[in-house]
Structure 1
């Protein structure tokens, strides 16, 4: 009976179909927009059924940028999330256990202002936007793990943001002090320096920024300045291109040390301090005065000598971008010594004394938590206070007797005050008196809650860790899980430092400060960006609503158009001249499956054996060549436009051979299967329909091959290069290619460094170069699937003798 069933199945492979493999199967029709819509309607609920490889131990964490729920996707979003989705699908097909989460950077001023304009609550506005944008991402076909979805305005998330703040507070890394800040009189909040343009106007409201002295909360980022700066040389930061340069520019070279001089009030040391920077820390004991640009005339205590030091106010611009000057006789003298009637005296230290004194003073300052850390003149501590309602409440309670007290962990989260209406007059939590009044957690007396909320960057500084442990209600995240699942393998956006191994920069992360003067910065790095402007036009597709693109071309076609147009790292200037190429390619793929079904059903007239053998070999070579190229661009360079080009090359090869080869060639069948699989990450719905057509064709020639005939295209294993296909050993001398030797994959995979060198030294061009040089070192890069490189490093050739006249 079993044998009989097998015979029936062999004759009628259609019976093998499980429901989730069936397509719309209208292969007698042309590929019109109507057909595309039918395909997407059929497959939209099927392409994301299996998103995990639970049996795989190798993880791959692909993290797209954290979206702000503005209400509508734009084409920049489509681009970022299509890239991340394509790479996530590619890695799943390589049997990785893929982590591909999504969430919402939901707090912040834009939502507040939008809520005021529309007379709704910020929470209502934000929730509505999240729901709509989520539906758009689902329409885009993104394979996000929605079970990991988070929102920074959800109390289950910001409970842990508050917990993180308190951990930093307990470690002495968060403090509160008076500081001169940028105040936006319209938005009524503090602004970072980067949010003020060169004319002194606020980045959002356009109002002239005011300078105020306010008590603010800071994170002591300067303590880690040198560690951050040096860490940017870490080899883990693959493919960071120029971002490390931007980060180094932002942090600045750490050529000096910071020290905190406590302010003296009525002769007593207060909690207030003034922070000074000096590149001569060894002379700190000899400071005679501090000059600042603005402050009341007071005294401060030298953290080393404990002596009183006067602070003078000077309305001048200090050097190196500093807002102060310290007076050390004989070291950094200027006319201020004369003005303040301070007698200079020469202080001399030997080189050995400088080193020992420097170490001694810095250690003493660190031990007393008053600085002693190397930092640049640029980097300042991170001001995290914001004076608006829609943000994470800072979990501190102010008591007149006990001072500032952290909210006990058992009472977290500190929720925002409940509001029934929202207006421009009530944009700060300080307006809600019932919420402010509370009791001191230490002594029980009447106390007041902190009314500032946290900068939204504080929320987004750690969200990628919460994705890994979203349902943990006992701790911020499980440390053992983080050890296994970090670092992020690929981040698409502009990140901060170490947690991200590889980076794709998106132009959408640019923040425009001043349109008129073409001033812009990277949102995260704060480094300056050069802007150029072009007129909005249909040909550039600038500002086009994704929904309009979906209606005009279809979802998967839109995904292909945006992938094929430019490289991920390029500015997103669409050019409709590239559209016909993609549309034509889809039509040729559709025709290819139609022909495949037709020729497998009714075998065409035969061709000579020699020609058939030639075309079968041609399909073998084409399959391997384009698998190699497309795979490299999926996983190594992430140049998706080049991957599209490689796939188009394979289509050209498939359409060059005779109808008889289509019907009878095992290698054609394998190449066509590879074609559809290569396409699947970028256009999962269209590829699924092509695959259903591939499966219904009769007379399978590779029944026992690596094609899984009972699985969908997205469940296939990514096609690999055949063991007999020849790959290149590239021979270089000092990085310059001289020749390439071809080996079958099975041999090059086991080729040792010593053997690779032996083969390279036999190449005539290499021998010619080495005649006048000595080998210093040899580097061998094993790059299976692409190429192996033997790089011979040598001495420079001797200078040529000049002919005597």
Structure 2
């Protein structure tokens, strides 16, 4: 038999066995299974290294939990709709569906080749009518609940993708002239258009989405911060300005203390009053139209004077009212009180429009008197009437009670979710436009509204599908037209994790009883870049579905893991940069081992051939070791020797350590532990013929613990060891003895070995004859315990010397107590004297093997010259 492990030779066999035994199928009657999920892939054509890292994390954890006895739900599906597939199909002179199906077949094969264990019976594909039927069903339910709006809006438009974009799909790109807003997909500069569009009113949940972040303890703080900033909760005040005889404008401000500095009121171009004025004022109408059609930033600090004045609620002054491009429609109230002296944007607008600047807050302390910039911090009020001399914070409190025109308020930066897309490859929005009835939802019995046959055209292909577009009104039966926009593909992914729970359920998108029992998702793995796209949307959808009576839970995910990026030559690995490595290039398990061992899952790491080679060699070492044992290449003993106890104990310690690291998703530390343990097993085997029971137990534990990361290898090792069943279904190894102190035990052995090495090096002893390791006396452990448990303010020396056991040792005890007090904050956990002696006696063979010397381990005595040097956690050492 070859001594070289080749996963490609065995992978087909083990895949067949796994499928035959339904290893990865989660039973429908499971009681609250462990739900492990990776963000499902977009069908981009081929599996890339980012996919591998994401799915290696979920697969390793799912396999580990299955071996621990859990029912595990670990499904996979396809995020199959979207513009990239439409563009790719156009480039290849085919249709989006054919291209997408080809990609899915290829990627499914690649996932299986990589050994990922999915419950394929739950596979979903979002471009299947059986799936997007429920997109449409949910849309109508949200529409009926008042969570869908259809309105004219100034929207982000990508001229290259020929579709609108949600705010979260517009990113900032650095240019020579500063930054510009570009499309998240193609990086084309984004423009503005006025269009009738469909929105989900996610703003109805802004307060709850923001507050809920505080309870997501299992989510990275970075993601929570991104969502907090995007939702943009602001506490402040609403100030009402009377305009003319019968109009009032509410302005939101977070700096009520600057209210006396307001010298104008500015309305957004979309404000109701601005729209009303535009009907009769050509200049205002022209300005509003220009702003709405211009690119972001082009309008700058432009504005138009309405000719109206607003009455300041506290001073009675009349101040001008402008329509200004810098005021946003859906931020705050769509109107601001302009305070040029204390707000940078207001200051720039005032300068542009030649408006007065009134200082009403002075900085406290020394300032740069030469500065002409507005003072935007808190300070002391001036020019503010009876409030002069108050600090900003106190003034804000008092001003809230000053006038009925001022009320406390909370606003959110979050905007409603624009879901309309003017593209073919997406879920048709199930609405009909009727001249008599208006906008009418498609009835449930007529769902799904399926896509027509694809025809390549400029603009929106559905708008050109005349036969498909022409229909009857569900209400009156008269001729009507279908909605030709399709849904943003993030709608597909906002609830897909629910469909996995009951993929064949035909009465609703998912079975609510199952969802209530199995949710939330226990572990979800994906990129931080989805923080305000997918991850915010699934939180919104879960709440909306709960309010529709379809769910009990309101948060979809308990624990979120963000995987880092795979780099090559310092850049993110990608085809466009020419630095991509195909997952199969180095073999499935070499790749899996490397991507999991290279760094913590959340960290980026560099792909290096040297490190990949180390992962390959580790597999080969394990295979050769197990094969040699199974074929009887090494003599073994059936009677135990004293040093065998060390291996038995180290097996327990390794199992405890590896288990803890799997639970913490620190797979790089799992691999480190397994590599260290494999080296120890080789060393133990070569020291003298191994004790068969202990050595075989160590190999079994090693095989089981590597199986979640390298499943083909795990099965091969398990099989060669003659174990029954499959490694994938084996029980997770457990320690035979208590291992609460395993970290302390390991640290003791490591430090003592390091101390012996340091002594032999410093004294230049090449071949030591004898090594004496002396453990401290009992009373020192008692003193150490007292010091460790004492409060920082406690007089440790006195408390130690008051102890009957310690105090009898007089001056030696006092000196030791003083040393303990000096480094009390640094004291580490320790064992008692008997256990420390036992651990070092078990490890004596390591010293003998490394240094070729006779090793003695004993406890110090009162008349022992080494007694003073021996301390808990640090025995005295004498080398001759």
Judge same fold: TM > 0.5, yes or no: yes
**2:237 is the alignment partner of 1:240:** no
Equivalent residue, structure 2, for 1:133 = 107
Aligned-pair distance for 1:202?
3.5
Within 5 A, what are the aligned runs for 1:365-764? Answer: 374-376=410-412, 378-419=413-454, 421-423=455-457, 425=458, 427-494=460-527, 495-496=535-536, 497=539, 498-507=555-564, 534=571, 542-550=579-587, 555-599=588-632, 603=635, 612-635=640-663, 637-658=664-685, 664-695=691-722, 709-727=723-741, 762-764=785-787
Within 5 A, what are the aligned runs for 1:8-27? Answer: 26=1
Equivalent residue, structure 2, for 1:733 = none
Equivalent residue, structure 1, for 2:130 = 156
Q: Distance in 1 between matches of 2:518 and 2:229?
A: 30
2:53 aligned residue (50, 75, 79): 79
Within 5 A, what are the aligned runs for 1:292-311? Answer: 292-293=268-269, 297-299=274-276
Shift in CA distance, 276/148, structure 1 to aligned 2, threshold 3 Å: farther
Aligned-pair distance for 1:329?
12
Equivalent residue, structure 2, for 1:105 = 79
Shift in CA distance, 479/321, structure 1 to aligned 2, threshold 3 Å: closer
Within 5 A, what are the aligned runs for 1:2-41? Answer: 26=1, 29-31=2-4, 35-41=6-12
CA contact (8 A) 1:436 1:448 kept: yes
Match of 1:380, SS state, is coil
Shift in CA distance, 153/718, structure 1 to aligned 2, threshold 3 Å: same
Within 5 A, what are the aligned runs for 1:2-401? Answer: 26=1, 29-31=2-4, 35-48=6-19, 49=21, 50-52=23-25, 54=27, 57-193=31-167, 194-196=169-171, 197=173, 198-234=179-215, 236-255=216-235, 291-293=267-269, 297-299=274-276, 313-316=323-326, 324-326=334-336, 354=400, 374-376=410-412, 378-401=413-436
Aligned-pair distance for 1:47?
3.5
Match of 1:681, SS state, is coil
Shift in CA distance, 677/294, structure 1 to aligned 2, threshold 3 Å: same
Greater shift after overlay, 491-500 or 249-258?
249-258
Match of 1:641, SS state, is helix
Equivalent residue, structure 1, for 2:367 = none
Shift in CA distance, 661/76, structure 1 to aligned 2, threshold 3 Å: same
Shift in CA distance, 113/100, structure 1 to aligned 2, threshold 3 Å: same
Aligned-pair distance for 1:566?
2.0
Q: Distance in 2 between matches of 1:385 and 1:587?
A: 54
Q: Distance in 2 between matches of 1:299 and 1:97?
A: 62
Aligned-pair distance for 1:492?
0.8
Shift in CA distance, 426/318, structure 1 to aligned 2, threshold 3 Å: closer
**Which string of whole-angstrom CA distances, capped at 9 and with x for unpartnered residues, describes residues 79-117 of structure 1?**
111111111111111111101011111111101111111
Q: Distance in 2 between matches of 1:537 and 1:394?
A: 34
Equivalent residue, structure 1, for 2:862 = none
Shift in CA distance, 214/679, structure 1 to aligned 2, threshold 3 Å: same
Q: Distance in 2 between matches of 1:435 and 1:356?
A: 62
CA contact (8 A) 2:566 2:607 kept: no
CA contact (8 A) 2:153 2:196 kept: yes
CA contact (8 A) 1:662 1:669 kept: no
Shift in CA distance, 478/721, structure 1 to aligned 2, threshold 3 Å: same
Which runs of no fewer than 5 residues in structure 1 stay unpaired? 1-25, 260-273, 302-307, 363-371, 511-530, 696-708, 731-758, 774-786, 789-805
**Which string of whole-angstrom CA distances, capped at 9 and with x for unpartnered residues, describes residues 12-44 of structure 1?**
xxxxxxxxxxxxxx2xx3215xx4432334323
Shift in CA distance, 668/276, structure 1 to aligned 2, threshold 3 Å: farther
Greater shift after overlay, 465-474 or 659-668?
659-668
Q: Distance in 1 between matches of 2:131 and 2:65?
A: 29
Q: Distance in 1 between matches of 2:479 and 2:140?
A: 21
Q: Distance in 1 between matches of 2:427 and 2:96?
A: 13
Shift in CA distance, 290/407, structure 1 to aligned 2, threshold 3 Å: farther
Shift in CA distance, 656/47, structure 1 to aligned 2, threshold 3 Å: farther
Shift in CA distance, 228/346, structure 1 to aligned 2, threshold 3 Å: farther
Q: Distance in 2 between matches of 1:443 and 1:290?
A: 45
**Which string of whole-angstrom CA distances, capped at 9 and with x for unpartnered residues, describes residues 389-438 of structure 1?**
1111111111222221111122111111223x424x26431111122222
Equivalent residue, structure 1, for 2:753 = none
Which has the greater radius of gyration? Answer: 2
TM-score, scaled to structure 1: 0.70
CA contact (8 A) 1:294 1:314 kept: no
Equivalent residue, structure 2, for 1:767 = 790
CA contact (8 A) 2:648 2:694 kept: yes
Equivalent residue, structure 1, for 2:867 = none
Which runs of no fewer than 5 residues in structure 2 stay unpaired? 174-178, 240-248, 279-308, 311-319, 357-383, 388-394, 528-534, 540-554, 745-781, 797-828, 831-880
**Which string of whole-angstrom CA distances, capped at 9 and with x for unpartnered residues, describes residues 469-511 of structure 1?**
111110111111111111111111143443111121124699x
TM-score, scaled to structure 2: 0.65
Shift in CA distance, 429/761, structure 1 to aligned 2, threshold 3 Å: farther
Shift in CA distance, 614/639, structure 1 to aligned 2, threshold 3 Å: same
Q: Distance in 2 between matches of 1:178 and 1:464?
A: 32
Q: Distance in 1 between matches of 2:635 and 2:580?
A: 50
Q: Would you say how many aligned residue pairs link Structure 1 and Structure 2? A: 645
